């Protein structure tokens, strides 16, 4: 080792053993803030598929049913949250959000169906807030609110064979 390295080593040891005799400190504070905004998203949907509907082989007093779902994630604490289902892409002429008359289409042919918010198929699900939308209390963004859609094809519909479809839009209001 040369002298310069020894001198630097001794100086470092000496400096490390010294404590400042008159050290002073000063403190300050600062705020940490965040604003959590209310919000909801439609996390996922499950199609409502009625399956095969054969008017020739059903009792004309028996309707065809099916279910689907809409999963909604919302910030906890939101109020007045509701889910609306529009009239579909092919509503019957004269259909309204209050009394939706939905139908599936295959070419020029139509097949009527109804959407309900309860398993007894008595509460029509539409798009008039406060009248026929579904209100719910959010469970938070980690656990989705899963809202089941109950569908019915009325009994006794005489419809030509084909693959019928429609598209319904779900809208969450918060």
* 154: nearest Cα among 14, 42, 60: 60
Residues of the chain with pLDDT > 90, as a percent, come to: 68
Contacts of 33 (CB under 8 A, 6+ apart): none
pLDDT on residue 155: 82
Does the residue 149 lie in any domain? yes
**DSSP assignment letter at 7:** H
In a domain, 14, yes or no: no
pLDDT of 166 > 70? The answer is: yes
The confidence score (pLDDT) of residue 78 equals 79
pTM greater than the 0.85 cutoff: no
**32 located within any domain:** no
Burial label for 165, CB within 10 Å (0-12, 13-18, 19+), is: middle
Q: pLDDT-derived band of residue 12, with 50, 70 and 90 as boundaries? A: low
Residue 136 lies in a domain: yes
CATH assignment at residue 113 = 2.60.40.1090
Tell me whether residue 27 is in a domain.
no
pLDDT at residue number 79: 84
Q: Could you tell me if residue 29 is inside a domain?
A: no
Q: Does residue 70 sit within a domain?
A: yes
The parent domain of residue 142 ranges over 40-173
What's the pLDDT at 56? 74
Number of domains in the chain: 1
For residue range 13-50, what is the model confidence (pLDDT) as tens digits?
Answer: 555 555 556 789 999 999 999 998 889 999 999 999 99
Residue 24 falls within a domain, yes or no? no
């Amino acid at each position: 080792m040369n002298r310069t390295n020894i001198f630097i080593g001794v100086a470092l040891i000496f400096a490390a053993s010294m404590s400042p005799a008159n050290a002073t400190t000063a403190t300050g504070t600062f705020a940490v803030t965040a604003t959590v905004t209310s919000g909801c998203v439609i996390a996922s949907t499950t199609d409502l598929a009625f399956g095969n509907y054969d008017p020739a082989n059903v009792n004309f007093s028996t309707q065809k049913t099916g279910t689907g779902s809409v999963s909604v994630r919302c910030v906890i604490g939101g109020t007045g949250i509701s889910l609306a289902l529009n009239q579909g892409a092919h509503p019957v002429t004269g259909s309204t959000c209050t009394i939706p008359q939905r139908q599936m289409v295959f070419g020029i042919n139509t097949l009527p169906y109804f959407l309900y918010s309860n398993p007894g198929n008595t509460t029509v699900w539409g798009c008039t807030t406060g009248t026929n939308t579904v209100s719910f209390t959010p469970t938070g963004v980690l656990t989705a609110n899963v809202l089941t859609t109950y569908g019915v094809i009325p009994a006794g519909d005489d419809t030509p064979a084909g693959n019928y479809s429609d598209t319904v839009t779900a809208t969450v209001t918060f």
